[in-house]
Structure 1
Amino acid sequence: MSAEENNTSRRTAQWWQRLGSALGGPWAPRARAGSGHVRCEPDWSWRLVLSDYDLWCVRDGLGRARLNGRDISLTAGCLLMLRPGDEIEAHHDPHSPLTVTYQHYAHDDPGQGEVAGACPPHLLPPRLVHLDDLPEVRRHLDGLACLRRRPGPDTSARTTAALAALLLEIHAQAARAAGDLPALMDRRIHDVVEWMTCHPDRRLNVRAAAASAELSADQFSRLFHRETGESFRAYQVSVRIDRARELLAESSMTVSQVATALGYTDHRLFTRQFKARTGIAPGAWQRSS
């Protein structure tokens, strides 16, 4: 499959389903010896021909690398997905040393149960990924490190699952960079949305939300609409009604109890807003669930 075909296919849900199935089954990644989180020594340099797969994530610092003849700047959020046979040379600025996390791994050969020399190319992320969400990748890597520190009979299975999840995340970030998936929500808006979702009973005014995002009210309102497609007020109502639908369908609470729990002092307003967004009254929704 060509790079162009691969990029096109990454826009489809079927491609992601096949990728998830492959990484969770016949081509599951298996951790190998060689992993860690290090701050490279001042005189550090690297010159190697890879014998396996190596995930190499720059978390801090500055450096340069030459990968298969390609020059690469190494900065925080730069991820190298190295493959067997890759040739790499690297060094860093001793005044801004690299801090990296790495993990060597292999893929199982379908039907053989043995380490394979080459995984199908469409299952591999690009060799260079500029992460747009380094904290999420760090979270996965830190989880792998925690598993390594707690060896037990479950370690192999859990490490394989964790590695597969990490590779899917890397694929997603590479796809976003290529325009095959939507960009991440602006972090300032994301944090406000998370707060509203966790506190559907609370009322947050736009000025307080803007202040938390360190924006003016007008800047915040424009950015919020651009990122969510709704006004701030409409989004708040949507969050409350979404929670109301869950409570009415999955709990034994009455319509009045749900309205009160979600901060409505006027239950008629709750009914109007619920019907405007679902097409039916809350009582009818509960009976049909």
Structure 2
Amino acid sequence: MESETNGEKAVVLDVRPLSGVVFEPGRIMGKARCEPGWSWHVHAMPDYDFWHVLAGTGSMTVNGSRYPIAPGCCFTLRPGDRIDVEQHPDDRLTVIYCHFRKAVEDAGGEAGRFSPPRRRVEVHDGARFEALMGRLLELRDMPPLWSEVEFDYTVKLLLLELYRSERESHPAGRASARHRELVRRASDSLRQGAWAEADLEAAAAEAGVSQRYLSQLFKRHTGRTLKSYAAGLRMERARLLLAESDMPVTQIAETLGYADLYSFSKLFKAYSGTSPSGYRKRSPAATPLD
């Protein structure tokens, strides 16, 4: 399935869009603030290139199609692309760039296939994207042990970020991204032990929505309501304490905020299929921490 955007066909990806492909470093990578009067002209790109803009403005023409350059956008250039870039004379560009190519995986010369993102994508999580680009630059100066593997994985993480940003570039996608961020922040609070009803109300208030609406977002993005998600986290914490500590069961129930041992044991059995004491007996002995 394809859709047309700015003269380019955006491919709707499979569930595992990068399986069977391995990436390796291309000819050059770096970070630079472009000099006054700088421009860039390439008759035919020799490999792929992430060209991520940190600051400045200008325009890039790829194979005759013109794109605006602005902070936060990333160009994924492809082998054979004809490139012409001009920066605004009063707003110099700062960019991170990294050339890469698909590795030949077997003796027959077969390399995995992948569908590149659109040539220009506005990156939604700029800090994460910049950190990943910076990691590629660090790998250039590292000893070879595992650096090739990490380079491949990091390029794939960057591509996944671009695929997500593509999908979130439409109004519905932008709303979904905002909702997912609300769920992420609330779930982070829950993982730190904010399980009580008052905590759920506080998490919703901090997100600027009602508890009911936040619960609907949780259901949409996690498959569970807010209360069910919090209860699951609390039960997972109980299982960990039973397996890896010598705290009495009564103390665990009290610590996790249950009204009494009976309530805790009943809920734990419904969740785990066994009583807390039975779960502890079947678990490996706890190893004391140094």
After TM superposition, the score normalised by the length of structure 1 is 0.72
| Residue correspondences, number | 268
Q: Matched residues in 2 for 1:241 and 1:96: separation?
A: 55
Do residues 152 (structure 1) and 143 (structure 2) align?
A: yes
In the other structure, the counterpart of 2:6 is none
In structure 2, relative to structure 1, the CA distance for the partners of 1:195 and 1:148 (3 Å cut) is: farther
8 Å CA contact retained: 1:201, 1:262: no
Q: Matched residues in 1 for 2:112 and 2:204: separation?
A: 47
In the other structure, the counterpart of 1:81 is 76
8 Å CA contact retained: 2:215, 2:226: yes
Higher helix share: 1
* Runs (5+) with no aligned partner, structure 2: 4-8, 284-290
Q: Identify which range, 162-171 or 57-66, moves more after superposition.
A: 162-171
Q: Which has the higher contact order (CA 8 A, sep 6+)?
A: 1
Aligned-pair identity in percent equals: 28
The CA RMSD over aligned residues, in Å, is: 3.8
In structure 2, relative to structure 1, the CA distance for the partners of 1:206 and 1:112 (3 Å cut) is: same
What is the CA-CA distance between 1:83 and the residue it aligns to?
Answer: 0.8
In structure 2, relative to structure 1, the CA distance for the partners of 1:95 and 1:267 (3 Å cut) is: farther
Amino acid in structure 1 at the alignment position of 2:101? A
In the other structure, the counterpart of 1:225 is 215
In structure 2, relative to structure 1, the CA distance for the partners of 1:186 and 1:161 (3 Å cut) is: closer
In the other structure, the counterpart of 2:41 is 47
After TM superposition, the score normalised by the length of structure 2 is 0.72
In structure 2, relative to structure 1, the CA distance for the partners of 1:57 and 1:6 (3 Å cut) is: closer
8 Å CA contact retained: 2:102, 2:112: no
Q: Matched residues in 1 for 2:236 and 2:169: separation?
A: 31
Larger Rg: 2
Q: Matched residues in 1 for 2:46 and 2:61: separation?
A: 17
8 Å CA contact retained: 2:75, 2:119: yes
Q: Deviations over 1:166-214 (max 9, x none)?
A: 334434444565899x9545324422321321x127756245435644x
In structure 2, relative to structure 1, the CA distance for the partners of 1:127 and 1:284 (3 Å cut) is: farther
8 Å CA contact retained: 2:10, 2:117: no
Q: Matched residues in 1 for 2:69 and 2:210: separation?
A: 33
In the other structure, the counterpart of 2:124 is 132
